């Protein structure tokens, strides 16, 4: 603390503690001085680096371009990119940030210079999670991160293991269909997001540790949905601590305090699961040979220094948050788009009837490859409504040049996947829902693997989503099961074009999709 400020504080506290107003003023004075001095330092650094970084919009003192970003940053940044170019710099408070808004720039960041951009710019909210520094999502592309990726690729998401556990996923689909049939018989309206979340939770739980995380019939399912939803929403919420790092210790918006409750609850549930499994492994109980057994085996083989219980818990937490949130959001958007486009819905149902038949047979993963139009519907949904419109922010680990522009070490870099997926340079009629664009004669080479940089809903390069293969299987099974044997209508006589298609940033639809199913009676199931 500067000497003058320190002296004034001591003088006020000792010599003039006469009023609360004087005391408050004296306590705030050093903080204001510190903030102003930091603002000047950051402004000086910004002016110095401005010549080096890619060009961008001129901002205001201290706050930079924050006012221009607003509540829908993916849309605002897309508009700014049209004026300032596909590689631009915006200043978010004290944080200069580079934004890539074209497929070519995405390729530069995620493929050509992927080693340089393996770092992550971690939101302050993440620090509320116990042992967050072990998370594969937020690790900085170091040795620990490489080891965790290898564990996922070799122990969890291999084709052999996914196929071995598909019977469990088929059972979950049977349960889903029965729930919809029951609702059809009673005329009950179904909250699609809640139904899909519960089923996705069961899918992930049974794939990872051969059991449900919680009782699907209890009220806890809604509690857990709210906790996961809270985590996803807060992580996408603007946080003053991310823009002005000096303010992090104060948590002015209470974001860390709020999100910590949800993280702690999820950790408690996973601790209980791990405890039960460890107890079973010390008894004569048969092995489950699921993800959890594979992770525990790896820990026993390599020792706690490399992979221990906390690593397992954080890894499972990452999978549940990423898997349940993204899957629920995507299926809800897909259903909304299909309901608003009856021609497309009819075409998808026709493909299912021809391939699967009209009986109450479980749709299996082997059927998915024979459903190209359904796959196109999913791709088009994720193009228009990516669950991570700005992906996760990368961070330069070293000084690097991108298209002639120097990007200094530690600079955050955003890839605007939303802007790329709606760019008329790559897509005809980009604002319309047209699954046919992914069919024969269209963009047939575009898949989920991030090799075509105009379509990267799961990311691309070394930091692509590790659960991509499982995620695509789950999405396909869920959507196919919901539309195969059921027609749907909105409650209270609403028309499908009245569905609110606004979305919260990176989370879900503005309003939940609630619809009434009707089981289609056919000769096959009469």
H or E element, residue 95: strand 95-100
Instruction: Tell me which residue of 297, 387, 280, 281 sits closest to 333, measured CA to CA.
Output: 387
Helix H, strand E, coil C: the string for 12-73 is HHHHCCCCHHHHHHHHHHHHHHHHHHHHHHHHHHHHHHHCCCCCCCCCECCCECHHHHCCCH
Q: 509 φ, ψ to 5°?
A: -65, 150
Residue appearing with tokens 């592309």:
141
Structure tokens at 233: 């929403």
> CA 368 to CA 354: how far, in whole Å?
13
> CA 201 to CA 319: how far, in whole Å?
10
Residue 10: half-sphere exposure toward Cβ, Cα within 13 Å: 7
Interior angle at CA 492, CA 486 and CA 498, nearest 5: 80
> CA 473 to CA 477: how far, in whole Å?
6
H or E element, residue 514: strand 514-519
> CA 271 to CA 7: how far, in whole Å?
51
Instruction: Tell me which residue of 386, 383, 402 sits closest to 394, measured CA to CA.
Output: 402
Cβ count near 393 (within 10 Å): 18
Q: Is residue 465 a known part of a binding site?
A: yes
- Tell me the binding residues for heme: 465
């Amino acid at each position: 603390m500067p000497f003058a400020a320190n002296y004034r504080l001591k003088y006020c506290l000792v010599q003039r503690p006469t009023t609360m107003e004087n005391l408050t003023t004296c306590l705030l004075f050093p903080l204001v001085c510190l903030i102003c001095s930091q603002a000047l330092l950051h402004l000086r650094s910004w002016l110095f680096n401005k010549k080096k970084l890619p060009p961008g919009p001129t901002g205001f003192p201290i706050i930079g371009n924050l006012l221009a970003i607003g509540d829908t940053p993916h849309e605002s940044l897309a508009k700014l990119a049209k004026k300032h170019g596909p590689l631009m710099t915006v200043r978010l408070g004290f944080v200069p940030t580079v934004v890539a808004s074209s497929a070519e720039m995405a390729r530069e960041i995620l493929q050509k210079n992927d080693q340089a951009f393996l770092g992550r710019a971690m939101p302050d909210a993440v620090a509320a999670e116990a042992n967050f520094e072990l998370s594969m999502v937020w690790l900085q592309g170091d040795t620990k991160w490489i080891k965790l990726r290898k564990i996922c690729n070799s122990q969890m998401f291999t084709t052999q293991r996914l196929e071995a556990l598909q019977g469990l996923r088929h059972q979950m689909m049977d349960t889903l269909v029965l729930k919809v049939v029951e609702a059809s018989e009673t005329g009950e309206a179904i909250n699609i997001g809640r139904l899909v979340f519960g089923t996705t939770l069961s899918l992930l739980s049974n794939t990872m540790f051969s059991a449900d995380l919680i009782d699907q019939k209890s009220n806890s399912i809604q509690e857990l949905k709210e906790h996961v939803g809270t985590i996803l929403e807060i992580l996408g919420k603007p946080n003053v601590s991310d823009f002005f790092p000096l303010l992090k210790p104060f948590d002015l918006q209470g974001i860390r305090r709020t999100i910590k409750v949800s993280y702690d609850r999820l950790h408690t549930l996973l601790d209980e699961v791990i405890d039960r499994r460890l107890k079973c492994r010390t008894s004569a109980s048969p092995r489950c040979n699921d993800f959890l057994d594979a992770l525990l085996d790896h820990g026993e083989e390599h020792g706690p220094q490399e992979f221990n219980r906390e690593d397992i818990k954080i890894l499972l937490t990452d999978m549940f948050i990423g898997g349940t949130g993204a899957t629920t959001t995507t299926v809800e958007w897909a259903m909304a788009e299909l309901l608003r486009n009856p021609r497309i819905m009819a075409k998808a149902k026709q493909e299912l009837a021809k391939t699967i038949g009209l009986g109450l047979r479980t749709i299996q993963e082997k059927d998915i490859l024979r459903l190209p139009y359904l796959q196109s519907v999913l791709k088009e949904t994720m193009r228009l409504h990516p669950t991570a419109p700005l992906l996760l922010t990368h961070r330069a680990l070293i000084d690097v040049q991108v298209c002639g522009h120097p990007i200094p070490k530690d600079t955050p870099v955003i890839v605007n996947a939303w802007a790329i997926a709606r760019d008329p340079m790559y897509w005809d009629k980009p604002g319309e829902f047209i699954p046919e664009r992914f069919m024969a004669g269209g963009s047939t080479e575009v898949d989920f693997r991030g090799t075509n940089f105009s379509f990267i809903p799961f990311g691309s390069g070394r930091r692509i989503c590790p659960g991509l293969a499982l995620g695509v299987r789950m999405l396909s099974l869920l959507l196919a099961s919901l539309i195969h044997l059921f027609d749907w209508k909105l409650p209270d006589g609403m028309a499908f074009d009245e569905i609110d298609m606004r979305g919260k940033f990176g989370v879900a639809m503005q309003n939940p999709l609630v619809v009434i199913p009707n089981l289609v009676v056919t000769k096959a199931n009469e």
